[in-house]
Structure formats: C-alpha cells, structure tokens
Chain A
Amino acid sequence: MHIAEGFLPLLWCVLYFAIAIPVVACGIHRFREIRENFPKAVPLVVVAGAFMFVLSALKIPSVTGSCSHPTGSGIAVITFGLPITAMLGMIVLIFQALLLAHGGITTLGANTVSMGIMGPLVGYLAYRVLNKTNIRWEYVVFTVAFLADVFTYVMTSTQLALAYPTPSLSQAWTTFMTIFVFTQIPLAIAEGLLTVSLFHYLIKYREDILAKLKVLRVVRSAVVGGSS
C-alpha cells in the first residue's frame, strides 16, 4: 500500500521527488529512443505498464488478516530496465492518487521511489546475477518479481520509519516491516506466478523483440541457435 496523501512531512516529500524525477526523466528519454529506433517494442512497454496497472489495483487478502496489493513491476524491469519502470510506476501512481485517493500527489515522489525505483532495483540486480546462471527462466522471472514486490514494501517501511522514528528508528522500522512486509510475502508469491504467466506469452509470441532487447538468456540462445 502506498503512503497516503499528506502523511509525509514536506521535507521528505521534496527529497523523494528529487530522487524520483531524474530517474523518471531518464525513463521518458529512453521511451522516446525506443519509439524512434525500435517502434515494434512500444507495445511491449505498454503491456508492461498495463500489467502494473492491473496488479496495483488488486487488493488481496493476506495471512496477516489485512489486505495489500502487488506492484507488477517485474515485467517492466526485466524487459526495459529501471528508468522505464520508474516512468510507468509514476503514471500508475498519478492515476491512483488523482482518481482513487490512494497514495497521493504530495507522496507521489516517495511512492515512485519505493514502487518504481528501489523495489525494481533489487529485482533488477537479482536479474543481472541470475541471468548469468543456467537457472530456468521461470525461476529467474519469479524471483525478480517476488523481490521487486517485497522490497517495494521494505522501502515504504523505511520511508515511514525515517519520517516517524518513534519511539526509536529501529523500533519504528520493525513495526512497519512487520505490518507491510509480512503481509506482502504471499502476495509477492502470487505476483511472481502471474508475472511468469504473462512472460510465457511474451516469449511465445514476441521472442523476436525480446531477443533484440537482449532479455533473458533463454530467449537469446534460442534465437541464436535457430538462425545458425
């Protein structure tokens, strides 16, 4: 769940905007490059964004007796990297802040940092490592989606603990982590499974585009193997 409108002190809001804006700007720049140089990949960006749109609207019950929602950033970060994921994340967050009173305009920077940048960054790092191994692509995609989801909420907990370190920073952090991250784990598993399902179709139908984008070892080796 995103940080609600108006609940983050002004200074923090400004700081998170300062972190988020350059990354999102870089994402917009990358998107323009893709549109000019590789227009066939644009629908893939749209689908990756649509996947975030769907998953972040699904509030799912969890084992803690409360509800939260997945983030859906796995496809975007594997296929297009961090900046475009941040851009897509911000678009989804703007929609939810303006029309659903979910998250907020003042907390948009902070929520973009957690859902669009820090969570996906952990997923991206895992992807870079796992993609070098011989692990099946299903496990790679699952792990990336799972980590991006869980670490989004680790970041949210950290942001709230930093803003409200009462009684102490570590105690506040533990409290928020218990609520957010524990609730998130079953949802992150669900998100991982859904991400693998969609990726199955992306590989099945658009292996050519994924190969050009140099996504996932299995795709590249399949295409190289096919042409030789």
Chain B
Amino acid sequence: MINVLVIGNGMVGYKFCEKLVNKAPKAFKITVFGEEPSPAYDRVHLSEYFAHKSVEPLLMAPRQWYEENSIDLVTSEMVVSINREAKSITTHKGRTFSYDKLVLATGSTPFVPPIEGSNKSGVFVYRTVEDLDAMETYSKNAKTSAVLGGGLLGLEAAKAAMDMGLEAHVIEFAPRLMPRQLDEAGSNMLQATLESMGLHIHLSKSTASIDGDEAMTSMTFTDGATLEAEMLIISCGIRPRDELANESGLEKGERGGIKINESALTNDSDIYAVGEVASYKGMTYGLVAPGYDMATVVVEHLTGADTKGFTGADMSTKLKLIGVDVASFGDALDEGKQYKSIVFEDKNAGIYKRVNISKDGKKLMGGILVGDASNYNMLFQMMLNGMALPPHPEDLVMDTSRQGTPAGNTVDMLPDSAQICSCENVTKGALVQAIEGDGIEQFAALKTCTKAGTGCSACSPMVNDILTATLKNMGKKVRKVLCEHFDYTRQELFDLVKINNIHSFNELISDYGKGYGCETCKPAVASILASAWNGLILKQDTIQDTNDRFLANIQKGGTYSVIPRIAGGEITPEKLIVIGEVAKKYDLYAKITGGQRIDLLGARIDQLPDIWEELINAGFESGHAYGKALRTVKSCVGSAWCRYGLHDSVSFAIRVEERYKGLRAPHKIKSAVSGCRRECAEALSKDFGIIATEKGWNLYVGGNGGANPQHAVLLAGDIDEETCIAYIDRFLMFYIKTAEPLNRTATWMNKLEGGLDYLKQVVVEDSLGMGKQLEAEMQLLVEAYACEWKEVVNNPALRARFKHFVNSPETDPSLKFDKQRTQKVPAGW
C-alpha cells in the first residue's frame, strides 16, 4: 500500500481524501494532520456557526467517516518540518511519520496589515471556529464592531457581527465593496441594500491606528476621521501557509504559495500542493472550487487515471451575502475596456445587472449580478460555451416579463412545445392546431376536442387565453364573453350589477342573459354579486360552486375540510387545544396548511355545522379557505420577537387579514407581511405582499405560487400603514372590477394593457381619479362582513341543508377510509 500523508484538514484536504477513497478504496494508506481540534468543516458557511452554536452541522464529515474509510485523522497537531531526503515529516509534538507521497493542503492564514495597535484585545481575525468562539465571548461586553475589509469574507464577517447583536461597520480601503468582483454601480447597489439592513459601510478609508488602552475602543483613519468600535474583525485577504516550503527547499511562487505544475506537483515529484497554499503560474486561489479541482487532479495523478490537469480556474462566483444575491463571472470588470456593456438597474428593487459583450456583439464575456442572480447559470453557460447571443442582447439583463406587455402577449411568447395542460399532456401547439385546423372557436368545444383543462382544470384560464390569442392572430374579433348564457364580459356584468342594483342571478339572467345558466356563469355571477354587495352567499346556494355552497372544501370521497381563520398565523394555546379537541371528537385528519393555518379533513357534510358550532363558540370564524376570496395573510414573527425585525409584521398582518376577510374576488387572494428584507413570510409570492423597510413598508403586487410562479413587483415603497391600506383597497377593487373569471392577480396584471406602469398610475398616482371611489367601495364591503358559518350555525333552516339524504338521517354508506400514519385518509379513487 502506498503511504499518503496529507498536511491540512481543511475543506480541500478533506475533499482530497474523499476523492481518493472513492476512486481507489484500500489502495492507499492515508494519514491526515489537522492543527485545529475539529475535523474539516465548511469554512464558506462559517457565519452559520452562530445559528447552530455547534460545529457539527458544518462538518464536511464526522470523525466516524475517517474511521470507516481507514483514514488516520490526527487533529490538534501541527506539522513543523519536512525531511525530503528521509521522506518524513515531524510534528510540533516531535513525532515523525514517513511517507511515500505527501500532499500539502495547509491553506492560508488571514493577512493582518501592519497597523499600529493591532495587538490590542478586541482585534480578531475571521477564519476558524475558535476565532468565532473568541469573538462571541468578547462580544458579550461590546455593542459596536468594525470589520476591516469589504470583500467577500469581510461581508460574511460583518454578518457574523450582526448575528452577535453588534452594530457593525465595514471599512474598505478601495472605493467600492468586493472590489475584485463588482464595479462601482454594482457596489453602490449592494451597499444600498446592505445599509437598508442596518449595516454601516465606509469606503475609501485607510486605517491609521487602532486606539485604546489595553482593549481597543476606537479607530483612527488617515483622513483624520475616527470611529468608535469595541471590536475589530480583520478580513484583509489571505496569505498562503507556505512556511513548510522554506526550509525544505520547495519552490515558491512569485507572490507566495508553493509552486505547482499542471499535475499539482511541486518541484519534488513525491510532494503535491493543493488549495489556497498552491501557486499555479504565479496565482493563488482563495476560492474552494479551484482547490477541489486540484484535489481531483492529484487523485487522478496518484491513481494513474486520465487527467485534464489543472490549468487555472475561472473565478466566477455566485453567492448570497447577508441574503443578497451577488454573482460575478468571466471578465466582470472589463478593466481593459475591450467590451461593450449593457446595464440594467432597478434601485427600488435593489437590482443591478451588467453583461459585457464582445465588440462584434456576438459573445458574452462576463458580467455582474446584484440583487437578482436567478439567471446566473444561464449566463454563465452562455459565456462558457460561447453561445450566440439573442437578437436583443439587452434581454439578458432586462426583466421583460411584466412591463408594458400588451394583452395576450404572454401566451403568444410560449413556444408550441410548451405543455399547457399537464393532466392530459396537451401542448400549446395542439391547442393552436385545434383552433386553426379544426376551426374551433368555443372554449367548451376546445376542451372537449383536446381534453385540455378536463383534469384538474387549473390550466383553463390559460387555455382560454390561447384560444383568444389564436383567434385574434387569425384576424377574428374576440370578446371574452362569459358563456352561451351571457353575451357580456365579466367586467361589463360587474358594471351592470352595480348600476342596476341587481342582487340575484335570476334577475341578471332574465334581464341580460338567455337560457338557464351553467356551471361557468353561475359561480362567476355569484362571485360578482358577492364582490359587489358582500351579502350572505347562501341566500343563493345553488349558483355557488360546491365549496361555497357547503362552506367547506370538498375532498376525495365527498367529505369536506374545515379551516378556521387564524389571522396572521397567530393563535393562543387555548385555541390550539380547541382545534385539537374538535379534531379528536370528529376523527378528523389534521394538517398544517401553507398559509399558517390548520386544516381538519374528512368531515361528513352533516358534521360540518356541529364542528363549526364548537369552533365558533371558542371564538373562531370561517377561514374562507373554500372561497374565491381572501385566504390568509401570512406573517413572520416581526419586531416583537425577531432580532432583525424592523416593524411588527404580525400586528400588521392581522390588521390586513381582519380588514379583507370574507372579500370575494375573481379568484383566491393570498397575502403576507414580512418584518424585514429577509422575507421569511414569502410576501413576494403573494397577490399582495408587504415587507418592512427602515422607513415604512414596501407594497408588492401580482405575485403567485402554484403552477405559474411569479414574483410580486413593487407598487409603492417606504409607505406608512394607512397609505399601504389605501393602496391595497384600490388595487384589490380595481382587480375585482376588471379581471376575467378565475384569473389570479398575476394573470390579470400580465394581461393588463400598460402593465405595471399603468397600474401604478391608477393606484398610486390616481390618474383615473377613482382612488377615493375604490376605497369607498372597499369600505362598504368591509362593513358588510359577517361570518358565514356563524349565520349557518344560528339558522336552523340553513343548517338543515347540511345532510347527505333529504329523506333519511343516514350518512353516505359509500364513504370509506384508510389509515395512514395513524390518521384517517379517504380510500383511493
């Protein structure tokens, strides 16, 4: 067996062992020396150490892994010399080990610039968990901290300081943050976002001295300015740990590090160097990916496998810094000014994107993404593979999905191969073929012919849009009338209902429709009437979809689910117990919903009023989970508890949910309130989402989860609660009055002529002069609210409708249940 010694048990040293035992199990005897007490851990995510308070979750592999793979792991022992002639090494404990092959993975050490006072207590470096432990202990008696260095690691260290509850100042010598990755505009954007999170940033600052007696208390800069800080974390770059090379005569690179060739070999053919300590063509690499590449090369070389060798590394990087996406790839800075660049900037959303393209406009050479790095992989691939650019290269950085999109254009942009109906696997091409080839002009006929929308029917609105767009493209005039019974659009019917004070389906169809209605127009009209007047929907129960007719969600087998409102997701232990007791009493399956509520499933129709009676007596109300209505306003714990919370998101969420509860709309409406930019409530995926800022609240609209996820976009920023409510009133009423049936806000906005700009004009700038009217209409609905279930529970005639047979007290004998993980579930269908 070949005896391999590895000096250094960092990320790269570990990765080498892992790759070697995988490639050639039992062919090598491996011994690893680490000077830290712990086995190798993930240094890239070091700041997470505070969250875990333990190194265990960060370990690359537990100690046991080394044992299982017969690797001798020697920790807390530093190798101090190499005897190349004897082929052995000696540790600081005086122990000597011989080797056949030696791998140096000693890594690097933080560079501490020669600043006066850097030996005072309170000055730390940021590299190991021991550094973090020492910092945390010290921070208990400190309030302010500074980080020297605004690079990648410095910002990570600043996050660590914030996590320790310290005021944190970042001091950077260069005029911008992350000077190796970002240009000035990208740095400005990142700076603005980080400052909004409470970080203080000082650029172009050179430190003259660290002041204080025994312990530091402040810093002085060369421009004479001072900064009070009780702690300083130095993060000014790294120096390779190449001291073992000095006496052993291993060759070093011009700027430090141990010189290696393409096989990661040093000038001694039995000694390799990998990771931060290795210098290839004068370059050392402080990122983990090139280190892993070197480890692969050494394993291939040792096992005699084919190898591409190490020929340098791309320094492209994508990471989340304190929750902000930052990516930089290829030639990001274009310091040689050889390229043309295209820049997109959205200061509201904190997004900066830049791509550098070759002078001939054909190739992508590099770029920078701040705030939104979602298309990093696509861009990086495009650059790596020298792919042709799109006809309008600005599309690479622009968000073209929303602004000013003309009506219908969203489905026009889909390729024919796009799968529209996933239940029946129907593509857009098949739908277009049916419309153009078979001459289908009716929505119902299109569904019958193609089967699209006949499964779960979630795609129906999109199928309808494709019908409209295709007919339009064929030069046919299209009006999206409701169905064969009403020759009006939903918006026209809404106006007719309001102007003529119509309160029932029968009135509307006899005055403005024909025939007897159907399963399309009845619920649509029911929704219009509810949005117009907010009367008790059970007064016309047979025009409601089954969920609204029985005020519960129908499930497989014909039982229903019960979801009481838990505004903002806040609930007392007493109320939780009531839910538990009810679930036990009626043998209901319990599950937590995605909207921070509790779903009780498997209730028979006849049990619903009894269940609700108990819930209402305990102070619950209907959650309208069954309705095309406001569902939940999710929230994070906010400033009441959270150390990052800027405002009380729970209180605001409850206020919003209480205001709009019971509001019926063309489709369901979801909302969320987050107490800071970390966005734990996921407000950007909601129809309207609210996020706390230093100055107030940001209001986002048009988000969507589900089948076609879409982020909400900023409607208004830094507004107070009252303004926020007023804008939501206007936004929701405008949506309710103008959307087509079963269109969520995102779909509605995508089709809205003029897009977001137009919506801002209507809601924020009040360009139509209808802001006050919309608010008044909403106020009427809010005042008309009553809990539907309370009405049913207290009304014997309404209660009597909740039974399976009208001529027998028996329950449905066909109901069948199975057990799953101790709870009941309906038998499969």
Do A and B belong to a common assembly? Answer: no
